[in-house]
């Protein structure tokens, strides 16, 4: 359920006309609905009502500080994967005691910053990382709280690029090796073992892989207990999918129910790291049609709609062949045509949709690329020296620019012409 609806033939975000925003902000821009963000956070979080838990929004899904602040105010924490995301979460006012740090390649500098900030837990992904963290703890005279990220070797049945819980993926430590790492960590002066973590992938549409992973984690926690190591936090990662096209992902409440049943006999605080399921359908990318054209190839006339958003703005179609629903901001008529919706970038991979049946559109029309609130702006780049888009947040009948469109000077920031002769 989201809050992007037609009213009198004009697409609105909550009570604001999207055409009105475009007239003031220009295109392309990302547009988020406060009501949808809140509703999705609440829907997810309330599934765990009555259980000790902490919902840490995965910052990489949608990193704008206005969005992070919203979840912080609702009692949420943050799952971060870099020093930059730590900076964002802190600026957004997220309580550092609710920040979890995941990722396979944490640098010394990043560890120091996170230690200094006093985050809740590092999810450690290799023996070397543990050693480095111990060094940082000793250097700063503190204790790093850790969980090991266990790679449970479970097939999440999602796109290969976003599978993370298979033995062949770079993530985590195999359960077989993790025990000895926990024993090693136990003897480290500046390390405190507090948890076990696991994240098997993104855009999962079935519950079974989650449960399969969870069962393996439970067995592992049992083994730790035999060694006298008790776990305070069980971090289950993110991964619940959303509907882009015709996927039928589990409802967050069904996911929560299944997890709770599986964990009924365990006594620890649950940490969840949802990203996509919260922000994915709470944001859209609004773009303007620049040109339409037909490249005739005899029987295979190809119709193109060229828009002002490109793969640098929304990478998912180019990167994963991902499907995004695309609808006109002025409600379409009866007349349909099959088109490729493409951006201006000089790569054939720069498409938003291929062979898509769409109501006929014309130059100057606005299109809404739906389900762009996760891995949308946060994956955008300046490729082709394109300015990164504005981000806009709507609440009821008002809107606010939460990130200005970049200007050409932003493109050159830090660059200089060589003085070396």
Ligand X SMILES: *Cc1c(COP(=O)(O)O)cnc(C)c1O
Hey, what are 342's tokens?
A: 């493409």
- Per-residue CA distances from 88 to 72, 99, 119, 415 (Å): 12, 11, 14, 24
The verdict on 316 binding ligand X (CB under 6 A) reads: no
The verdict on 273 binding ligand X (CB under 6 A) reads: yes
Which residue, 209 or 275, is less far from ligand X as judged by CB?
275
Q: What whole-number distance in Å separates Cα of residue 311 and Cα of residue 293?
A: 20
Q: Which of 47, 165, 172, 237 binds ligand X (CB under 6 A)?
A: 237
Which residue, 326 or 374, is less far from ligand X as judged by CB?
374
Q: To the nearest whole angstrom, how small is the minimum distance from the Cβ of residue 127 to ligand X?
A: 19
Q: What is the largest CA-CA distance in the chain?
A: 74
The verdict on 274 binding ligand X (CB under 6 A) reads: yes
The verdict on 275 binding ligand X (CB under 6 A) reads: yes
Q: To the nearest whole angstrom, how small is the minimum distance from the Cβ of residue 206 to ligand X?
A: 14
Q: What whole-number distance in Å separates Cα of residue 257 and Cα of residue 49?
A: 10
Q: What whole-number distance in Å separates Cα of residue 265 and Cα of residue 231?
A: 14
Cα-based torsion angle of the residue sequence 133, 137, 138, 142 in order, rounded to the nearest 10 degrees: -170
Give 146-169 as a DSSP string. Answer: EEEEEE------S-GGGB-SSTTS
Q: Which of 31, 61, 99, 289 binds ligand X (CB under 6 A)?
A: 61
Q: To the nearest whole angstrom, how small is the minimum distance from the Cβ of residue 161 to ligand X?
A: 12
Give the footprint of ligand X on residues 114-133 (CB under 6 A). Answer: none
Burial group, residue 166, by CB count within 10 angstroms (0-12, 13-18, 19+) = middle
- 99 forms beta bridges with 78
Residues touching ligand X, count (CB under 6 A)? 16
Integer-rounded Cα radius of gyration of the chain: 23
CB contact at 8 A, 248 and 40? no
CB contact at 8 A, 295 and 302? yes
The verdict on 40 binding ligand X (CB under 6 A) reads: no
Q: To the nearest whole angstrom, how small is the minimum distance from the Cβ of residue 275 to ligand X?
A: 3
Q: What whole-number distance in Å separates Cα of residue 56 and Cα of residue 67?
A: 13
Owner of token pair 């993104």: 202
Which residue, 210 or 351, is less far from ligand X as judged by CB?
210
CB contact at 8 A, 287 and 326? no
Q: Which of 14, 45, 79, 391 binds ligand X (CB under 6 A)?
A: 79
Cα-based torsion angle of the residue sequence 107, 87, 232, 241 in order, rounded to the nearest 10 degrees: -100
- 286 forms beta bridges with 29, 368
346 is catalytic: yes
Q: Which of 3, 60, 316, 324 binds ligand X (CB under 6 A)?
A: 60
Which one of 232-240, 250-258, 319-327, 400-408 is the stretch in contact with ligand X (CB under 6 A)? Answer: 232-240
Q: What whole-number distance in Å separates Cα of residue 218 and Cα of residue 301?
A: 57
Q: Which of 2, 12, 53, 276 binds ligand X (CB under 6 A)?
A: 276
The verdict on 102 binding ligand X (CB under 6 A) reads: yes
Q: Which of 172, 238, 249, 328 binds ligand X (CB under 6 A)?
A: 238
Which residue, 105 or 333, is less far from ligand X as judged by CB?
105
Adjacency order of strands within the sheet including 10-13: 4-7, 10-13, 16-17
Catalytic residue among 62, 198, 268, 346: 346
Which residue, 27 or 163, is less far from ligand X as judged by CB?
163
Which one of 111-119, 222-230, 269-277, 361-369 is the stretch in contact with ligand X (CB under 6 A)? Answer: 269-277
Which residue, 129 or 365, is less far from ligand X as judged by CB?
129
Q: To the nearest whole angstrom, how small is the minimum distance from the Cβ of residue 147 to ligand X?
A: 11
The verdict on 58 binding ligand X (CB under 6 A) reads: yes
Q: What whole-number distance in Å separates Cα of residue 361 and Cα of residue 312?
A: 23
Which residue, 33 or 102, is less far from ligand X as judged by CB?
102
Which residue, 249 or 317, is less far from ligand X as judged by CB?
249
Q: Which of 72, 77, 165, 239 binds ligand X (CB under 6 A)?
A: 239
Give the footprint of ligand X on residues 365-384 (CB under 6 A). Answer: 374
Hey, what are 243's tokens?
A: 């509907």
Q: Do the strands 4-7 and 53-58 form a parallel or antiparallel pair, or are they unpaired? A: unpaired
Binding mask 193-212 for ligand X (x = CB under 6 A): ------x--x----------
Q: To the nearest whole angstrom, how small is the minimum distance from the Cβ of residue 58 to ligand X?
A: 3
- Interface residues with ligand X (CB under 6 A) are 58, 60-61, 79, 102, 199, 202, 237-239, 273-277, 374
The residues assigned a catalytic role are 346
């Amino acid at each position: 359920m989201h809050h992007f609806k037609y009213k009198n033939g004009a697409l609105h975000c909550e009570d604001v006309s999207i055409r009105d925003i475009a007239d003031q902000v220009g295109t392309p821009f990302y547009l988020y609905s406060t009501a949808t963000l809140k509703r999705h956070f609440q829907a997810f979080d309330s599934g765990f009502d009555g259980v000790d838990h902490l919902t840490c929004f995965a910052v990489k899904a949608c990193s704008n500080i206005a969005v992070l602040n919203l979840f912080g105010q609702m009692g949420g924490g943050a799952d971060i994967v870099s020093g930059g995301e730590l900076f964002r979460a802190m600026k957004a006012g997220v309580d550092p005691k609710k920040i979890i740090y995941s990722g396979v390649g944490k640098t010394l500098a990043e560890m120091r910053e996170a230690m200094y900030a006093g985050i809740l837990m590092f999810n450690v992904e290799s023996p070397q990382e543990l050693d480095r963290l111990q060094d940082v703890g000793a250097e700063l005279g503190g204790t790093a709280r850790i969980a090991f990220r266990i790679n449970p070797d479970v097939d999440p049945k999602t796109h290969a690029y976003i599978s993370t819980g298979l033995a062949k993926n770079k993530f985590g430590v195999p359960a077989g090796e993790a025990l000895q790492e926990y024993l090693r960590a136990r003897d480290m002066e500046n390390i405190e073992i507090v948890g076990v973590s696991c994240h098997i992938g993104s855009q999962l549409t079935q519950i079974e892989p989650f449960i399969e992973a969870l069962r393996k984690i439970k067995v592992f926690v049992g083994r730790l207990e035999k060694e006298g190591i008790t776990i305070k936090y069980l971090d289950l990662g993110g991964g619940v999918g959303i509907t882009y096209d015709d996927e039928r992902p589990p409802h967050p409440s069904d996911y929560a129910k299944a997890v709770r049943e599986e964990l009924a006999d365990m006594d620890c605080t649950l940490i969840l790291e949802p990203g996509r399921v919260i922000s994915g359908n709470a944001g859209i990318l609004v773009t303007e049609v620049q040109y339409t054209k037909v490249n005739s190839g005899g029987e295979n006339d190809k119709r193109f709609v060229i828009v002002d958003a490109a793969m640098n703005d929304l990478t998912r179609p180019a990167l994963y062949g991902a499907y995004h629903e695309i609808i006109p901001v002025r409600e379409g008529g009866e007349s349909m045509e099959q088109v490729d919706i493409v951006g201006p970038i000089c790569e054939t991979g720069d498409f938003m949709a291929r062979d898509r049946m769409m109501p006929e559109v014309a130059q100057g029309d606005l299109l809404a690329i739906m389900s762009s609130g996760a891995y949308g702006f946060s994956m955008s780049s300046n490729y082709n020296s394109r300015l990164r888009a504005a981000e806009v947040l709507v609440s009821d009948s008002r809107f606010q620019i939460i990130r200005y469109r970049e200007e050409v000077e932003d493109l050159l920031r830090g660059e200089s012409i060589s003085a070396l002769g």
